[in-house]
Amino acid sequence: MSSLHELTALEQVSHLRQGKLSSRELTEHYLDRIEALNPALGAFITVTADAALAEAAAADRRQAAGHDLPLLHGLPLAHKDLADVVGVVTTHGSAALQHSVAATDSPLVSVLRRAGAICVGKTQVPEFGLSCYSENLIAPPSRNPLDPALSSGGSSGGSAAAVAAGMIPLAPGTDGGGSVRIPAAATGLIGLKPNRGRVPSGSGQSDLGQFVVAGPLARTTTDAALLLDAMVNEPNYHATSAAAHGPFLDAALRAEGKFRIGVSDLSPFAAAFPIDLDDDARAAFDAGVRALVAVGHDVVEADLHYDRRYHEAFQSVWTAGLAVARIPAAREKDLTTLARTLRHRAQGRSAADLAAAVDILRQFEQDTIEQYSAFDFIATPALGMTPRPIGWYTDADADTDYLRQCQYSPYTSMVNVCGLPAISVPVYSTAGGLSMSIQLIGRPSAEAELLTVSAQLEHHFRTNPKPISITG
């Protein structure tokens, strides 16, 4: 047998179910890797070794007693430290909060616990999940396993680093502006943002802009599909939602279908900031487009346009929650520069300003989906440049920090505004060993089709080595 962490999550689940492997053995293996690797990578804020081993032993006892086994029986994973895990401190990545031990699991944690997953800890996040890098004032930054001098992205950066380094087989993330797809692209993973309403416990219907959804991070398309199947497996009480039409794993395994794909490198931030792809981002995008053609899709240029008011409207709605965050005045000094600045600006906006911003984004959603409807998918670069060095964002004032984030990840937040599903798929390797990805944006409720094309690309690059940059 290969080293356990080299097996896919799907293979690990199969070995667990067949009794070739115990959950305790697998959990111990990952805890040993966390102990060895996390000091250099900062992926975990909290490791819950004792609780994880107890959960694993209980899973083994249930299997020995002949009970039905849930989908993720005995499989270790970890949660972002924005989610409550019973008995574990939740920090939200902030030094300005009084950290307390959670009395109950948050909904998604509860869903995955019922699916049989074993929680091994809480992963690094930016303060309140605000940014596309995972650095804060309470713990070491989350570093990229492909080059620890670089960021693993955000806000699911700790989870992505943990999966990419083989500290866990897969992980749930949350994505409100790219927070699953960005770290996936930075670390060479598959990152899927589901449709608004697809995952009941992370549906994109609880925040003002209806941006934030939960989605999987994994090393393979089938592993991402497996986790998505577990995440959607609960009653859905939302009046507006995407009907679950899985199993998504079946779609990833079949990988059948040819589609019309529109290609565009236009960003809605381009009206406000200079948005230019660096050499490796351009090469990756070109490689991804060539691969889509090679696997048989009809790929054409998409002539798109975006509302020039997007930037200001998005920032207003994205940061609105900071205005009412329960942070004592005496603790505001403990906020990061970015969070403190954006909080003060949010508090200065009127209700009329906020309503106008929401109206702009709702019209943006309608206009953009109408344009995209001429195609089955829209393909964009996943990122505007290679992963950035640790401290690249935080060594500047808040406005420069925000500008750099928009330039690094100019293609992701618009998908959250529109509520559409999207996936980040690795397609390119740089001369320095970094991975670069392409983003595919689907029609409403098209996660199965996105997983299909992702699996096709994955197979293509397994049989045709990814192009390597000669520019560095």
pLDDT digits (tens, 9 = 90+) for 65-76: 999 999 999 999
Express each pLDDT in 236-254 by its tens digit.
777 667 765 679 999 999 9
| CA dist 62 → 56, 59, 70, 113, 200 (Å) | 10, 5, 11, 14, 27
Q: How far apart are CA 7 and CA 1, in angstroms?
A: 9
* pLDDT for position 471: 44
Q: Tell me if 55 is assigned to some domain.
A: yes
For the chain, percent of residues with pLDDT exceeding 90:
93
Task: Considering the candidates 22, 80, 193, 469, report the single residue annotated as catalytic.
Answer: 80
How many domains does the chain contain in total? 1
Yes or no: say if 178 and 416 are a contact pair by the CB < 8 Å rule.
yes
For the chain, percent of residues with pLDDT exceeding 70:
97
* pLDDT for position 162: 99
HSE value, Cβ hemisphere, 13 Å, CA-based, for 324: 8
Query: Quick one: pLDDT band at residue 472, thresholds 50, 70, 90?
Result: very low
* pLDDT for position 237: 73
Express each pLDDT in 190-214 by its tens digit.
999 999 999 998 877 789 999 999 9
* pLDDT for position 464: 87
Whether residue 448 is predicted with pLDDT greater than 90 in this model: the reply is yes
* pLDDT for position 205: 77
Q: Tokens in use for 270? A: 């381009």
Let me know if 80 is a catalytic residue: yes
Q: Tell me if 418 is assigned to some domain.
A: yes
CATH of the domain at 428: 3.90.1300.10
Alpha helices for 115-180 (secondary structure H): 157-164
Q: How far apart are CA 441 and CA 368, in angstroms?
A: 12
* pLDDT for position 466: 66
Decide: residue 321, CB within 10 A, 0-12 exposed, 13-18 middle, 19+ buried.
middle
Q: How far apart are CA 156 and CA 160, in angstroms?
A: 6
The total of other beta-carbon atoms located within 10 Å of residue 352's CB is 8
Q: Tokens in use for 227? A: 């986790």
Interior CA angle at 425 toward 419 and 431, to 5°? 140
Task: Considering the candidates 94, 134, 152, 155, report the single residue annotated as catalytic.
Answer: 155
Q: Tell me if 299 is assigned to some domain.
A: yes
Q: Tell me if 472 is assigned to some domain.
A: no
Q: How far apart are CA 410 and CA 267, in angstroms?
A: 6
Contacts of 276 (CB under 8 A, 6+ apart): 384, 407
Tell me which of 92-101, 202-211, 275-284 is least confident. 202-211
SS3 state of residue 22: coil
Amino acid identity of residue 405, one-letter, is Q
Q: Tell me if 326 is assigned to some domain.
A: yes
Express each pLDDT in 100-113 by its tens digit.
999 999 999 999 99
* pLDDT for position 385: 98
Over residues 259-269, mean pLDDT: 98
Let me know if 155 is a catalytic residue: yes
Domain ranges, residue 178: 4-463
Task: Considering the candidates 179, 201, 203, 469, report the single residue annotated as catalytic.
Answer: 179
Over residues 442-448, mean pLDDT: 97
Yes or no: say if 434 and 386 are a contact pair by the CB < 8 Å rule.
yes
* pLDDT for position 467: 64
Q: Tell me if 470 is assigned to some domain.
A: no
Q: Tell me if 335 is assigned to some domain.
A: yes
Instruction: Calculate the average pLDDT of the chain.
Output: 96
Q: Tell me if 430 is assigned to some domain.
A: yes
